[in-house]
Amino acid sequence: MNVMVIVCLLIGVLLLISGIIFFLLKEKSVGLIAGFNSLSQDEQHQYDTLTLSIDVRNQLFRWSILLFLGGVLSFFSDYFGVATMFVWYLLLINNMGSDSFEKYKIKQ
């Protein structure tokens, strides 16, 4: 078993566990989202926390599936694992942003 198989599967398992935590905690899980928990209580009430937690949960599940697939394909060649990690890194960077919560703001 090569290194990329282990790396992809390990990160995939961690993301799957995180997704399960978001699934079980539902709206309460928004406190685990980086940046959202640093907002004041008044600011947090301006956002749809249920939709936010569902979207983060689904994103974690998608990332774990991607990494599991990359781990399985890495059995055949390390290049699949490297490509998978690169794609996951691009998706992760794309997700970060200063206005990442704006689409969850409740219209008043």
- Read off the pLDDT of residues 1-12 as tens digits, 9 standing for 90 and up: 789 999 999 999
**Is position 107 within any domain?**
no
* Assigned domain for 57 exists: yes
Residues 64-87 pLDDT 10s: 999 999 999 998 988 999 999 999
Please report the pLDDT score of residue 36 as a whole number. 85
Which range of residues forms the domain containing residue 26?
3-96
DSSP bridge pairs for 64: none
Residue 10 lies in a domain: yes
Q: Would you say residue 44 lies in a domain?
A: yes
Q: What is the DSSP string of 43-106?
A: HHTTB-HHHHHHHHHHHHHHHHHHHHHHHHHTTT-HHHHHHHHHHHHHHHHHH--TTTTGGGBP
Residue 41, in any domain of the structure: yes
pLDDT digits (tens, 9 = 90+) for 9-52: 999 999 999 999 999 999 999 989 888 888 889 988 999 999 99
- Answer yes or no: is 102 within a domain: no
pLDDT band (50, 70, 90) for residue 98: low
Domain presence at residue 63: yes
